[in-house]
Amino acid sequence: MARMDRTDARILRALCEFPRASGVQLAALVNMARNTVQSRLGRWEEEGLLGPYDRRVSPEELGYRLRAYVAVVVDQHQLESVVDELAGIPEVLEAVGISGIADLQLLVAASDADDLYRIAGAVLAVPGVQRTTVSVVMHEAIGYRTLPLIERLAG
């Protein structure tokens, strides 16, 4: 069941359009009481419903112009320790468990091809990693987004 309702979605949609808006400004944009908006913003913060701020920073702006997906096959008995080790590699932006021929899918950032080679080696060196397949991102056709889902919920 969804944790957010239509009112939440209306506030989120305004926040997507005006990310630096204050609670008072958001209330005016969505034509709601300031207390309603403030209490919902507070609840989202408490419950961790909003993603971290660093998600808005492009790796390219930090000098990491190359991105790649790394499919990782793992010894299932070591999955937890593998994930812990991968979390220690700064260039691993995201790791998700997947079904299919691999166990994990990583999104990594690299400064160039040589750096990607180093990162792929670091992933492969993690105890419990059996093999990897690297796919370089050539073009981001549709970036990460949730606004269409928010708009659907908002009505």
Which sequence spans correspond to the domains of the chain?
A: 6-51, 59-136
Helix, coil or strand: residue 147 = helix
Class of 6-51 in CATH: mainly alpha
Q: How far apart are CA 107 and CA 85, in angstroms?
A: 15
DSSP 54: G
Cα separations in angstroms, 130 against 76, 89, 108, 126, 133: 10, 17, 18, 9, 11
CATH topology of domain 59-136: Alpha-Beta Plaits (3.30.70)
The string of pLDDT tens digits covering residues 85-129 is 999 999 999 999 999 999 999 999 999 999 999 999 999 999 999
Entry pTM:
0.84
